[in-house]
Amino acid sequence: MREIPDWVELLFSLTSLIFAVQLALIFLLSSRYSDPSTNVIPLSPSAKGFKTAAVVPVYGEDENVFERVIAKLTKLFDRVIVVGDGVSEPYRSIALAHGAEFYSVPRSGKRGALEYGVSLLRDEKYVALVDSDTEVPDETYWKSLAVLESGYDALTVRIMYKGDNLTARAQDFLGYYNDVLNRAFARLGKVYVLNGQFSVYRAEKLREIIAGLSSRKLLGRLIVVGDDKELTSRAHRAGLRLAYLSSAEAVTYGAGSLITAIKQLLRWTRSGYLYLFLDLVSLNYRRGFLYYIAGVVSVLYPIFGALVTALGLTYPHHHQMLIHLNDPFLWLVREWTKELLAITVGLPNEPRLFVVFVHERFVNNLTLLIAKALKLAADLLTALATLGFVMQVLPKAREDPKGAVVSLGLLGIQGLLSIYSLITLYRVSSWLTRDQEPEKRSE
């Protein structure tokens, strides 16, 4: 009878344990996070003493949403630079009506629009990169500037999602999971990602790291996806001092449908893997050990999980109940069914008595003994870390239980997308320059 190779079981158990350790580390680090804004002197308009700018790339945004965003930004920033990515009206008229500047460039993607907008900076000390559908509250603006004035070079904030449909509410709930992850990285002086929706930089530092952003190539093709991940990687490599403000938020519009949300998740997952591999190849050690642990586990866990599951359904091991402690009942049902089939149709029959296979297949097999011990430790540690996460997001779950349930579904979908992304990563040239169709969103 064919069985799951022992080394596969062992590697999966080891990966499970590393995954559990990573979860526990994230929980413990996030619990010890200290928001940088609590230790700085608040700023006010009268005491600012420097200029700020916002660069806003736009392509296909709903004009009502765009107008609300620009109207708010022009009240906060000294200068608002809107760059149309191959588009002009109605965005030009809206921007000019609210006192913003508007420039149109040939269609080249968000990277080109960002790089062009930053090239127009003059004597501004700080510059924010803002999505055309992201609203920035007054408190976030002033808090961000105060933190940068304390010595940081760039920062990002918590992203909240706006919308009444279940998909948008689920995305908003996922923001709480991301907040836990970001707080853990911030505890180590790192940033997981400088969000593309809203991040603020010291202008001189941004000029240095954004140079050549729109001309970055891989396999001979321009990279369009993952502009925020590219800037994050460059910021770490340049040794910039980065911050994450959990107490400040920017509000963006959630996906209008589940299909749109899944496409976003697939795009983000692919670009995440792409930049993980690029960081590994370039030896960008400044990203920190937690980034690489989380990244490598995110690659190995789906692969070995899918492999063990697939093999377990077709060629189950005698010791499956010992390794997979979460489904002993299903294991017994499967084994008893096979016994009945063996009796009725004359299939090859092997001893299935518990004492026999424990003695022959487990006690005398060091590989399986180690695998079982690792899997047990992983299960226990994962359970404890998960409980900690649940306690942190429980207040939000009580406010919106339906959104919480759907967000768990999105997490499950993201797990499947991880496998799909890894399988199709070799076709990277086919999605590096994805066609960007305008997604019209309304309030």
Could you report the average pLDDT of every consecutive run of 10 residues in the chain (443 residues)?
61 74 84 88 79 92 91 94 91 94 89 91 94 92 93 93 81 81 90 92 94 78 81 92 93 83 82 83 82 76 64 50 44 51 46 40 59 72 74 73 76 76 68 48 42
Q: Are residues 211 and 336 in the same domain?
A: no
Q: Are residues 142 and 262 in the same domain?
A: yes
Question: Is 291 among the domain residues?
Answer: no
CA gyration radius for the chain?
A: 25
**Hunting for tokens 């899918």 — which residue is that?**
306
Say what the pLDDT of residue 433 is: 52
Say what the pLDDT of residue 304 is: 65
Residue span of the structural domain in which 80 resides: 29-284
Question: Is 44 among the domain residues?
Answer: yes
Question: Is 251 among the domain residues?
Answer: yes
Question: Is 436 among the domain residues?
Answer: no
**Hunting for tokens 């399988």 — which residue is that?**
423
Closest among 82, 146, 69 to 113, alpha carbons compared? 82
Question: Is 290 among the domain residues?
Answer: no
Say what the pLDDT of residue 319 is: 43
- Distance between CA 418 and CA 299 in Å, rounded? 8
Say what the pLDDT of residue 365 is: 61
- Distance between CA 401 and CA 395 in Å, rounded? 10
Q: Are residues 93 and 129 in the same domain?
A: yes
User: 154-162 and 198-202: which strand pairing?
Assistant: antiparallel
Say what the pLDDT of residue 348 is: 45
User: 217-218 and 221-222: which strand pairing?
Assistant: antiparallel
Alpha helices in 77-134 (DSSP H): 91-97, 110-119
Q: Are residues 233 and 351 in the same domain?
A: no
Q: Are residues 171 and 229 in the same domain?
A: yes
The backbone torsions φ and ψ at residue 252, rounded to the nearest 5 degrees and listed phi first, read: -120, 170
Q: Are residues 322 and 259 in the same domain?
A: no
Q: Are residues 128 and 165 in the same domain?
A: yes
Q: Are residues 14 and 97 in the same domain?
A: no
- Distance between CA 416 and CA 302 in Å, rounded? 8
Say what the pLDDT of residue 9 is: 67
Of 233, 252, 284, which marks where a domain is finished? 284
3-class secondary structure for 228-262? HHHHHHHHHHCCCCEEEEEEEEEEEECCCCHHHHH
Say what the pLDDT of residue 443 is: 42
The backbone torsions φ and ψ at residue 361, rounded to the nearest 5 degrees and listed phi first, read: -110, -10
Preceding peptide of 90 cis, ω within 30°: yes
The backbone torsions φ and ψ at residue 294, rounded to the nearest 5 degrees and listed phi first, read: -60, -40
Number of domains in the chain: 2
Cβ proximity of 45 and 70 under 8 Å: no
Of 262, 284, 306, which marks where a domain is finished? 284
Question: Is 364 among the domain residues?
Answer: yes
CATH number at residue 120: 3.90.550.10
Greatest extent of the chain over all pairs of C-alpha atoms, in Å = 89
Question: Is 334 among the domain residues?
Answer: yes
Q: Are residues 249 and 329 in the same domain?
A: no
- Distance between CA 276 and CA 229 in Å, rounded? 9
Say what the pLDDT of residue 262 is: 84
**Hunting for tokens 């999605």 — which residue is that?**
431
pTM check: above 0.95: no
Say what the pLDDT of residue 350 is: 43
Q: Are residues 309 and 229 in the same domain?
A: no
DSSP letter, residue 132? T
Of 225, 258, 284, which marks where a domain is finished? 284
Q: Are residues 352 and 414 in the same domain?
A: yes
Q: Are residues 371 and 301 in the same domain?
A: yes
Question: Is 441 among the domain residues?
Answer: no
